[in-house]
Structure 1
Amino acid sequence: MPTESISIITDAGHTLTGSLELPTGLVRGAALFAHCFTCTKQSRAAVSVARALAGEGIACLRFDFTGLGDSEGEFGRAGFATDVADLVAAAEALLERFMQPILLVGHSLGGAAVLAAADDLGFDKVAAIATIGAPSDVPHVLQRIEGDIEAIHRDGEGTVTIGGRDFALSRDFLEKVENIDLLEEVGRLKRPLLFLHSPTDAVVGIENASALFGAARHPKSFVSLDGADHLLLDDADARFAAGVIAAWASRYLPMRDDWPLPAEGVVAKTGHGKFGTEVHTTNHRFIADEPRSYGGDDTGPTPYDLLNAALGTCTAMTMKMYADRKGWPLEGVTVEVTHEREHATHCDHAEAMAEGKQMQALHRRITVHGEALDAEQRERIIAIADKCPVHRTLEGELHVHTESAD
């Protein structure tokens, strides 16, 4: 996916760094991802979810909270309220760019932060909210801190260890975490909610998901991340969570009205990738792209893949239709198609080509399936392949007419 570097200035004057994952085709909406406690925008969950959403046409911004990753500020003096303020600043940047309500997604404490930020942001700016392994009790995070919390309350500051890393925490940080009633805030939310949680989460227990789900209003959904660890370190778990969120979000970020399907033919529109192009037919949408070896993002078939597919699919359909009409026991066909650019060097009829005109070829290899078919039936089914409409179009007198739509 194309990735754009983003800088966000907070009300406190800090610069937050982010990565905006863009669809290779057109954008139908935007999402904001909040990472877990002391993680960064490079966490496995952040990257997987952001790119999965981009694959569904939803631009997704993942960023580093104050004092983490590449963002400015002091983590040890920030606290939960600062995380919420960071989210609001990042969300406002997305809203200004994409001009429509956004999806909020948060992992672990980031999940608690997006639930709290929705109220501050304004419900009219939020399309839906999804959380992964979120705590229902924000002070719960203090249980994961190795250090003398009481000494910090007494002395005003102290060094602790979180996830194997040392941090200097202030009394203000602890007080900002301790004074949050998240369940009360969740009860006020009037937006669709999705809670994903592992029943074997050893960091934030499954009872947290139960509490959040119970406090939330409908529409609300719960998905069990069976067997997953809290940080989604297994790629399969991260991809599953990302896929679920992307599919669920499509209901609340519908296709834009300015993307009409054509009344006839095909419409191709360039997207955000170097070559990524959205293709609209009268009933379908998909992405065409180029492989990474050609500088593309490999998010869809290439134009020549589509050309080969046109011949292959039309051939298969024609052969099946013919066999069905005859009542023959055809079980199916497999059509393999490849494209050859320099066909003139491999054939004996190149002299017939006009001077300076390139000779290309499509090679078609067909396997007919059906043990009950006799030799004559197989031969006639193979012969009908040359009668498929796309084959006739490609070998006929084909002209391409171009005009400006301006």
Structure 2
Amino acid sequence: MNSKTYRESIVFTNSQGERLVGVLHRPAETPKASILYATCFSCDKDIPVAVRLGNALAKAGFAMLRFDLPGLGESEGDFANFSFNSLVDDLVQAAVWMEGVNLAPRALIGHSIGGAAVLATAPLLASVEAVVTLAAPSNLEHLAQLLHNNATRKDDGVVALSIGGREYHFTTRFLEELKQHPSFTESARVLGKPLLVMHAPGDNIVPIEHGISLFEAAGNPRSFICLDGADHLLRRQADVNYTASLIADWVAPYVRTS
């Protein structure tokens, strides 16, 4: 592994004209390949697991981009307008930016709902040759129920949700759309690219059965790794280091040098 890595702040524009801010992790030399990372629901780019994973992958010789969705962190926009389709579109625009700087993503990594999003995004990106999901759901019913149970109803069809100590406002329609979204096992089934599913047996946010469903639906080549002892957010540095080393080794045979 290389000891010296770099981090660079970047800005790109999504389809709505909003400025989205990201951080590009790079090794000192030419990257083995570039990776685009999709973070978890309501998480900004600086959530510890994203930062640590970017650092670890850069040390392993890969470039990785993480970015803030609209209305989160340093990005423009309103997170209340979040939808699964907008998440996919933002990932596509991030990939366009990467391609423009000769770092077209060869692999996608998605955490939680970001894992579901990379399954849907990968077929849209010709450069992508492998996909990794971390604690990804096989459907959004559990998220809809979790949010519904913690929602406070306001006037005019608006609900307030407290997530991570911060209050967000969404429409009641947003919660209904989450319930109605198709199963992501179909996305795994038609992916047509190597897939690595990583999930913690003790995940109490997205149970491991979701990961098993994605793995069972996918075609070969596919791999499943239990992150024993980890939690949903991989809060321990040791869990991130372990995850990053496994991803680096697994991805390497499938990706072309950037």
Shorter-chain TM-score above 0.5: yes
Q: Does 1:11 align with 2:15?
A: yes
- Pair 73,195 (structure 1): closer, same or farther in 2 beyond 3 Å: same
> In the alignment, is the contact (CA less than 8 A) between 2:95 and 2:105 conserved in 1?
no
> In the alignment, is the contact (CA less than 8 A) between 1:190 and 1:217 conserved in 2?
yes
The corresponding residue for 1:193 is: 195
Paired residues, what number? 252
Could you tell me how far apart the structure 2 residues matched to 1:170 and 1:246 are?
A: 40
The corresponding residue for 1:232 is: 234
The normalised TM-score by structure 1 is: 0.59
SS in 2 for 1:233: coil
What is the CA-CA distance between 1:69 and the residue it aligns to?
Answer: 1.1
Aligned residue type for 2:29: G
Could you tell me how far apart the structure 1 residues matched to 2:194 and 2:93 are?
A: 22
SS in 2 for 1:250: helix
Could you tell me how far apart the structure 1 residues matched to 2:127 and 2:111 are?
A: 20
> In the alignment, is the contact (CA less than 8 A) between 2:20 and 2:76 conserved in 1?
yes
What is the CA-CA distance between 1:165 and the residue it aligns to?
Answer: 2.4
Q: Deviations over 1:36-65 (max 9, x none)?
A: 111111112211221222222221101111
Runs (4+) of structure 1 exceeding 6 A deviation are none
The corresponding residue for 1:177 is: 178
The normalised TM-score by structure 2 is: 0.91
Aligned residue type for 2:12: I
What is the CA-CA distance between 1:199 and the residue it aligns to?
Answer: 0.5
Could you tell me how far apart the structure 2 residues matched to 1:175 and 1:108 are?
A: 19
Q: Deviations over 1:301-324 (max 9, x none)?
A: xxxxxxxxxxxxxxxxxxxxxxxx
Q: Deviations over 1:46-92 (max 9, x none)?
A: 11221222222221101111211111111112122111111111011
The corresponding residue for 1:217 is: 219
What is the CA-CA distance between 1:177 and the residue it aligns to?
Answer: 2.4
Q: 2:150 aligns with which of 147, 150, 159?
A: 147
CA RMSD of aligned residues (A): 1.9
What is the CA-CA distance between 1:254 and the residue it aligns to?
Answer: 4.1
Could you tell me how far apart the structure 2 residues matched to 1:10 and 1:186 are?
A: 26
SS in 1 for 2:129: strand
Q: Does 1:2 align with 2:11?
A: no
What is the CA-CA distance between 1:188 and the residue it aligns to?
Answer: 1.0
Aligned residue type for 1:160: L
Which range moves more in the overlay, 4-13 or 52-61?
52-61
Aligned residue type for 1:168: H
> In the alignment, is the contact (CA less than 8 A) between 1:50 and 1:60 conserved in 2?
yes
> In the alignment, is the contact (CA less than 8 A) between 1:101 and 1:125 conserved in 2?
yes
SS in 1 for 2:225: strand
Unaligned runs of 5+ residues in structure 1 are: 257-406
What is the CA-CA distance between 1:171 and the residue it aligns to?
Answer: 3.3
Q: 1:102 aligns with which of 99, 106, 125?
A: 106
Could you tell me how far apart the structure 2 residues matched to 1:140 and 1:47 are?
A: 27
Aligned residue type for 1:147: N
Q: Percentage identity across aligned positions? A: 41
> In the alignment, is the contact (CA less than 8 A) between 1:197 and 1:209 conserved in 2?
yes
The corresponding residue for 2:205 is: 203
Q: Does 1:33 align with 2:27?
A: no
Q: How does 1:41-190 map to 2 (within 5 A)?
A: 41-98=45-102, 100=104, 102-119=106-123, 121-122=124-125, 124-145=126-147, 146-148=149-151, 151=153, 155-181=156-182, 182-190=184-192
> In the alignment, is the contact (CA less than 8 A) between 2:189 and 2:219 conserved in 1?
yes
Q: Does 1:253 align with 2:230?
A: no
- Higher Cα Rg: structure 1 or 2? 1
> In the alignment, is the contact (CA less than 8 A) between 2:98 and 2:105 conserved in 1?
no
Could you tell me how far apart the structure 2 residues matched to 1:255 and 1:159 are?
A: 46
What is the CA-CA distance between 1:97 and the residue it aligns to?
Answer: 2.1
Could you tell me how far apart the structure 1 residues matched to 2:28 and 2:177 are?
A: 40
Which range moves more in the overlay, 62-71 or 99-108?
99-108
Q: Deviations over 1:187-243 (max 9, x none)?
A: 110111001100111111010011100111111101110010111111111111111
> In the alignment, is the contact (CA less than 8 A) between 2:118 and 2:131 conserved in 1?
yes
- Pair 90,255 (structure 1): closer, same or farther in 2 beyond 3 Å: closer
> In the alignment, is the contact (CA less than 8 A) between 2:19 and 2:75 conserved in 1?
yes
Q: Deviations over 1:331-370 (max 9, x none)?
A: xxxxxxxxxxxxxxxxxxxxxxxxxxxxxxxxxxxxxxxx
Could you tell me how far apart the structure 1 residues matched to 2:163 and 2:104 are?
A: 37
Q: How does 1:288-303 map to 2 (within 5 A)?
A: none
> In the alignment, is the contact (CA less than 8 A) between 1:95 and 1:102 conserved in 2?
no
- Which fold has the larger relative contact order, with Cα–Cα distance below 8 Å and residues 6 or more apart in sequence? 2
Could you tell me how far apart the structure 2 residues matched to 1:28 and 1:207 are?
A: 33
